[in-house]
């Protein structure tokens, strides 16, 4: 078995660290590991496999002999350096939105459309966290009875906006509980004891970038470019774990009982659905969960072929890091690294 | 002009107090005001109109000479005493769910179906807070282009569960910020830094009582008994103000621009819709707002006749107390008190 040389661009962020930890836990055969970062982070040290890894400054020469380069940085850096890494012979798994909608770039949730990896041309895109969390149960239903229409309203945690957002929410909560005014830098308004129907800026069509990404990426992952889909993405005062209320219209109706079986058998999905005894997913229970949890499975009474459910997933782990690791493992297994 | 004798059953709760304050602010011609309560609350004093009102114990004789009896108590007490009050000649406005779905009882959001009050037989029902908040914008659209289908996912504050719930959330927040475990008595699980897809118990069809009420009551208020409607009701860590993401399918399409005009002209609705500059409703701004605020008005891309929007309302004020006051004012104006 080969030992792969792995580069992580942005290895000290929430997602980059989780990616490395998972690769190690799952015994991915890693040789050299290079942490790459900006001038600002270069020189910082990270404890990994019993040694201190020092962040090196990212340059065009950074990817020499690298088999896999995971990018967990902003789309500007990915746009510039992912093609450089691919040209050096590395396979790039890009966590940013930079390449997700490029027709030649596979956008992959391995359990749903892992076969798309076969047509990679050096760059593979990791979807938006919520796309992955939605695609896992929706993809499982779609295989049995194609989804014709879906409406998704989300309840998204602050960790998706980074560590600084996590700290801002806690600080705001403290201030409000002391009767003081909360200060907002990361969020457009106070988020403590509040919810905000805005994640990222808005387009002219009235949708936020987050909503539009969820719509477009879901269509691409499901191979359903005309899928009728709408979404409202809402930030809630939760630290980790994204939730969504999903209303799907299927080609042929699926009963809630059958949906429980289909989703219970689906890879990456776990059903937790005994509301009578208080058993349903909620974000406080989600940190560290590798599966998307699904509950509240019931008929959607707005349509004879409607099915409604509720999902919660660890946006950092399952939404980003684990999905990238599963892509990496598939690529290694198929001999593409 | 007459001065009406008004009785309030449950006058020391959040809704009962807001009801009395509003009647006074809006100069409703009140004569005697009787506060009625249980054995437990009898004797407690409330400051009102510069005097101390003492809560009297509710009995079958409490409604003698009363013109209007507002019930803001649990459905068991309403079921028993509302007919007693009506028989004594009072008009009852019941805030509880006890009579809402009785065919002979008008369930009224005055701006939407105020004309239903004409057929009252002594008891009028005040809808669930979320029904009222949803019916105001939806009813305005429905008049122009009948609503065929609607999906609603909610973000509901804790004040709907009473003062004890407000205190439990604040206490949980404090404990979690100190690194301690939160304790839940009112909520089924911890709500601090969490969201819970459960409000009230569940029925066998998988819907919660809150969801089912919203579905049935919306159909009744809109005079649309077959309306295709689904909902997910979710409790969020917000103190006051209920929000909802709404996806409506209309008989004939309405453009977002036309919807802004229609909703801007609708009584009880205020449009706040300039997302580019961060202008949209959110619950932190809602306390004390008499109108339902609507924003994020846009096409719903899941359907060619679809319209999506976001609403926020003060659940205690607009959802309960003000709606009851508007019913009361209509009844007085029409000579029905």
Contact A288, A308 (CB under 8 A): no
User: What average pLDDT does this structure show over A269-281?
Assistant: 97
Counting Cα atoms < 13 Å in the Cβ hemisphere of B222 gives 32
Kindly state whether residues A120 and A161 are assigned to the same domain. Answer: no
pLDDT of residue B2: 72
The verdict on a CB contact (< 8 Å) between A229 and B302 is yes
User: What average pLDDT does this structure show over A157-184?
Assistant: 94
Nearest to A230 among B195, B229, B308 (CB): B308
Domain carrying residue B105: 4-127+320-333
pLDDT of residue B1: 55
pLDDT of residue A52: 92
**pLDDT tens digit sequence for B6-46:** 999 998 888 999 999 999 999 999 999 999 999 999 999 98
Rounded Cα gap, residues A34 and A7, in angstroms: 5
Helix (H, G, I), strand (E, B) or coil at B135: helix
pLDDT of residue A1: 55
Query: Considering only CB atoms, which chain B residues are within 8 Å of A177?
Result: 170, 173-174, 177
Tokens of A30: 């890693």
Contact A336, A120 (CB under 8 A): yes
Kindly state whether residues B60 and B145 are assigned to the same domain. Answer: no
User: What average pLDDT does this structure show over A232-249?
Assistant: 98
Kindly state whether residues B207 and B310 are assigned to the same domain. Answer: yes
Decide if A275 touches B, using CB distance below 8 A. yes
B242-250 and B147-155 beta bridge pairing: antiparallel
Confidence of residue A21 (pLDDT cuts 50, 70, 90): very high
The residues, any chain, with a CB within 8 Å of residue B277's CB and separated by 6 or more, are none
A72: nearest Cα among A15, A149, A110: A15
Kindly state whether residues A16 and A150 are assigned to the same domain. Answer: no
Query: Considering only CB atoms, which chain A residues are within 8 Å of B201?
Result: 276
Q: Domain with A264 in it: what CATH number?
A: 3.30.360.10
A222: nearest Cα among A260, A254, A250, A256: A250
pLDDT of residue B11: 83
Q: Which residues pair with A183 in a beta bridge?
A: none
The verdict on a CB contact (< 8 Å) between B275 and A301 is no
Rounded Cα gap, residues A237 and A235, in angstroms: 7
Decide if A237 touches B, using CB distance below 8 A. yes
Cβ neighbour number for residue B108 with a 10 Å cutoff? 28
Rounded Cα gap, residues B48 and B55, in angstroms: 12
Q: What is the mean pLDDT of chain B?
A: 96
The residues, any chain, with a CB within 8 Å of residue A180's CB and separated by 6 or more, are none
Kindly state whether residues A108 and A136 are assigned to the same domain. Answer: no
Kindly state whether residues A158 and A307 are assigned to the same domain. Answer: yes
Kindly state whether residues A73 and A106 are assigned to the same domain. Answer: yes
Q: Domain with B60 in it: what CATH number?
A: 3.40.50.720
Q: What percent of chain B has pLDDT over 90?
A: 94
Cβ neighbour number for residue B76 with a 10 Å cutoff? 10
Q: What percent of chain B has pLDDT over 70?
A: 100
User: What average pLDDT does this structure show over B48-69?
Assistant: 95
User: What average pLDDT does this structure show over A225-250?
Assistant: 97
pLDDT at B163 over 80: yes
B306-313 and B292-299 beta bridge pairing: antiparallel
Confidence of residue A248 (pLDDT cuts 50, 70, 90): very high
User: What average pLDDT does this structure show over B188-213?
Assistant: 97
Kindly state whether residues B247 and B177 are assigned to the same domain. Answer: yes
pLDDT of residue B14: 85
The verdict on a CB contact (< 8 Å) between A299 and B205 is yes
Rounded Cα gap, residues A258 and B199, in angstroms: 25
Decide if B202 touches A, using CB distance below 8 A. yes
Nearest to A247 among B151, B177, B276 (CB): B151
Contact A289, A318 (CB under 8 A): yes
Tokens of A36: 């790459």
The chain B residue lying nearest A285, using CA atoms, is: B194
Q: Say which residue the tokens 């919807």 belong to.
A: B259
Long-range Cβ pairs for the range A170-173 (8 Å, 24+): A170/A239, A170/B177, A173/A237, A173/B173, A173/B177
Helix (H, G, I), strand (E, B) or coil at A167: helix
Best residue of A284, A293, A300 to probe chain B, by most B CBs closer than 10 Å: A284
Q: What is the mean pLDDT of chain A?
A: 96
Phi, psi at B335, each rounded to 5°: 75, 25
Structural domains of chain B, count? 2
User: What average pLDDT does this structure show over A96-115?
Assistant: 98
Radius of gyration of chain A (CA): 20
Nearest to A229 among B193, B230, B301 (CB): B301
Chain centre to alpha carbon of residue A180 = 35
The residues, any chain, with a CB within 8 Å of residue A55's CB and separated by 6 or more, are A11, A12, A35, A36, A37, A41, A42, A43, A44, A45, A46
Query: Considering only CB atoms, which chain B residues are within 8 Å of A275?
Result: 198, 202, 206, 208
ipTM of the complex: 0.96
Confidence of residue A14 (pLDDT cuts 50, 70, 90): confident
Rounded Cα gap, residues A146 and B174, in angstroms: 46
Decide if B190 touches A, using CB distance below 8 A. yes
The verdict on a CB contact (< 8 Å) between B202 and A275 is yes
Kindly state whether residues B99 and B207 are assigned to the same domain. Answer: no
Rounded Cα gap, residues B90 and B191, in angstroms: 41
Query: Considering only CB atoms, which chain A residues are within 8 Å of B155?
Result: 155, 195, 234, 236
CA distance B57 to chain A (A): 36
**pLDDT tens digit sequence for B244-268:** 999 999 999 999 999 999 999 999 9
Query: Considering only CB atoms, which chain B residues are within 8 Å of A190?
Result: 284
Q: Which residues of A168-182 are buried (b: 16+ CB within 10 A; e: fewer)?
A: bbbebbeebeeeeeb
Kindly state whether residues B104 and B65 are assigned to the same domain. Answer: yes
Element (H, E) at B248: strand B242-250
Confidence of residue B61 (pLDDT cuts 50, 70, 90): very high
Kindly state whether residues B94 and B171 are assigned to the same domain. Answer: no
Decide if B247 touches A, using CB distance below 8 A. yes
Rounded Cα gap, residues A213 and A224, in angstroms: 15
pLDDT of residue A2: 72
Kindly state whether residues B214 and B272 are assigned to the same domain. Answer: yes
Query: Considering only CB atoms, which chain A residues are within 8 Å of B306?
Result: 230
The residues, any chain, with a CB within 8 Å of residue A336's CB and separated by 6 or more, are A91, A117, A120
């Amino acid at each position: 078995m080969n030992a792969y040389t792995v580069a992580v661009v942005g290895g000290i962020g929430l997602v980059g660290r989780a990616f490395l930890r998972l690769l190690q836990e799952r015994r991915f055969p890693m040789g050299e590991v290079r942490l790459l970062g900006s001038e600002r982070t270069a020189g910082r040290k990270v404890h990994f496999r019993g040694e201190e890894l020092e962040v090196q400054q990212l340059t065009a020469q950074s990817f020499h002999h690298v088999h896999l380069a995971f990018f967990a940085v902003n789309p500007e850096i990915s746009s510039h350096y992912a093609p450089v890494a691919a040209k050096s012979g590395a396979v790039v798994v890009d966590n940013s939105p930079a390449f997700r909608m490029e027709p030649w770039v596979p956008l992959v949730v391995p359990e749903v459309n892992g076969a798309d990896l076969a047509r990679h041309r050096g760059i593979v895109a990791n979807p938006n966290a919520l796309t992955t969390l939605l695609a896992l149960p929706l993809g499982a239903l779609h295989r049995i009875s194609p989804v014709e229409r879906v409406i998704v309203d989300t309840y998204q945690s602050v960790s998706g906006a980074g560590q600084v957002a996590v700290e801002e929410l806690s600080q705001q909560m403290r201030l409000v509980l002391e009767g003081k005014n909360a200060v907002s830098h990361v969020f457009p308004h106070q988020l403590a004891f509040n919810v905000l129907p805005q994640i990222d800026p808005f387009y002219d069509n009235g949708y936020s970038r987050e909503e539009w990404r969820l719509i477009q990426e879901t269509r691409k992952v499901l191979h359903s470019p005309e899928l009728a889909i709408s979404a409202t993405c809402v930030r809630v005062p939760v630290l980790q774990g994204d939730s969504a209320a999903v209303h799907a219209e299927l080609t042929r109706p699926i009963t809630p009982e059958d949906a429980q079986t289909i989703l219970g058998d689906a890879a990456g999905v776990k059903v937790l659905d005994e509301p009578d005894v208080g058993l349903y997913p909620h974000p406080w229970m989600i940190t560290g969960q590798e599966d998307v949890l699904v509950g509240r499975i019931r008929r959607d009474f707005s349509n004879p072929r409607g099915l409604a459910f509720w999902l919660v997933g660890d946006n950092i782990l399952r939404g980003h890091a684990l999905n990238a690791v599963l892509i990496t493992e598939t690529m290694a297994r198929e001999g593409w690294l």
